[in-house]
Amino acid sequence: MADYGTLQEIARSARANLPQNAWDYLTGGGESETTLKRNRLGLDSIGLRPRVCRDVTQIDCSTELLGQTMRLPVCVAPMGSLQLLEPVGAGGVVRAADEFGITAFLSSLTEPQIEEIAPRINHPMVYQIYVRGDDAWVATFVKRAVDAGCGAVCFTVDLALYGRRERDLMKRYRPPTRQAGDMDAFHFQTAWNWDNVKRFKDAHDIPLIIKGIQTAEDAETAVELGVDVVYVSNHGGRQLDHGCATIDILPEVADAVGGRATIMIDGGFMRGTDVVKAIALGAHAVGLGKLVGMGLAAGGQDGVVRTLEVLEEEIVTSLGLMGVTSLDQLDSSFLRPAPPVVEPDLMSPFPFIDFTDKGY
């Protein structure tokens, strides 16, 4: 894995290793993929304002999330059907995050399941639950999380209906997360609401993360109900089409939260400078989904570790060249609007690689 010197090479290897259906499942978005492209456009429309003549001999990229120290301000975002990308599936991803020293979110819709993974890691993970039952059903999944030593549970709330992912639909392809067994109980997800959040907080002590917040209003409601982590996300552009870039939403959410909860974000984050921008705008940590998936496809567990190592090199370099030595020194004064220089696309951060699609 040391042969991978850049994230571009990892992405190229992932593209070469994956069949078309798996590649489209990993990289695609909803309908016209406008939201997906806006995630990238939002990040590309922010320029950096570096400060110079500062001692940056020692740079510390570590942070803390829910009481756990992390080597970088990033987490493995919850992803379903990881076994499509590499046979080790979620087990390899979670073990890679554990080895590297960051928190991993484990989706309830991936393989292997939590009971198989938990005994093989040393640090708490987060269990992300898609609701397929009533409050009693949820309680059984919370118990599984607690028994596995998880540090928190996460509910994804931007999935009241499945987004229309036309790369899959046009090929009549149904990934494992959309098989009949899962769809039979999907109405529970559709009906899940803020009353469920309140009942959860009343019934359970484990920290709660709500993923899919896209407005200041919903961020305020989440904080009022005692949510511990407000997670800004549009599902990587895979759900509502014509949504806004998460990086553009982040400032209003940070203002609404006002320091009363931890803030996370995901949505098109592919480079170290992307992470730096989010931290400067008020996020405590960034979720990595598609990038980690590419690392998995490129080289299994070792590929994910190498992806995180290269990303760390990018973050350290960016911080040093910006004149800061720790994440807490970043704020919006290091940013300014800037025109993008390339057409936005999920893979536009990797301009030296040809990702030409082969027939979706």
Residue 201's domain is classified under what CATH number? 3.20.20.70
Give the number of other CB atoms < 10 A from CB of residue 66.
17
Q: Any idea which residues carry the catalytic annotation?
A: 235
Instruction: Please return the burial class of 16, using the count of CB atoms within 10 Å of its CB with bins 0-12, 13-18 and 19+.
Output: exposed
Instruction: Please return the burial class of 10, using the count of CB atoms within 10 Å of its CB with bins 0-12, 13-18 and 19+.
Output: buried
Q: Which long-range contacts (CB under 8 A, 24 or more apart) does 143-150 make?
A: 144/114, 144/115, 145/114, 145/206, 146/206, 148/114, 148/115, 148/117, 148/118, 149/118, 149/124, 150/114, 150/118, 150/124, 150/125, 150/126, 150/206
**336 assigned to some structural domain:** no
The length of the chain is 360
**344 assigned to some structural domain:** no
Per-residue model confidence as pLDDT tens for the chain (360 residues): 669 999 999 999 999 999 999 999 999 999 999 999 999 999 999 999 999 999 999 999 999 999 999 999 999 999 999 999 999 999 999 999 999 999 999 999 888 999 999 999 999 999 999 999 999 999 999 999 999 999 999 999 999 999 999 998 999 988 876 765 566 789 999 999 999 999 999 999 999 999 999 999 999 999 999 999 999 999 999 999 999 999 999 999 999 999 999 999 999 999 999 999 999 999 999 999 999 999 999 999 999 999 999 999 999 999 999 999 999 999 999 999 999 999 999 999 999 998 875 443
pTM: 0.96
What is the longest distance spanned by two Cα atoms in the chain? 61
DSSP category for residue 280: H
**349 assigned to some structural domain:** no
**110, 130 in Cβ contact below 8 A?**
no
**358 assigned to some structural domain:** no
Give the Å distances, CA to CA, from 268 to 13, 219, 272.
Answer: 19, 21, 12
Give SS3 for 344: coil
**341 assigned to some structural domain:** no
Both structure tokens of 43: 């990040």
**351 assigned to some structural domain:** no
Tell me how far apart the alpha carbons of residues 222 and 157 are, in angstroms, rounded to a whole number. 11
**296 assigned to some structural domain:** yes
For the chain, the straight-line distance linking the first and the last C-alpha, in angstroms and rounded, comes to 30
Total domains in the fold of the chain? 1
**Do the bridges between strand 152-156 and strand 126-129 make them parallel or antiparallel, or are there none, so unpaired?**
parallel
**58 assigned to some structural domain:** yes
Domain of residue 112 covers 7-326
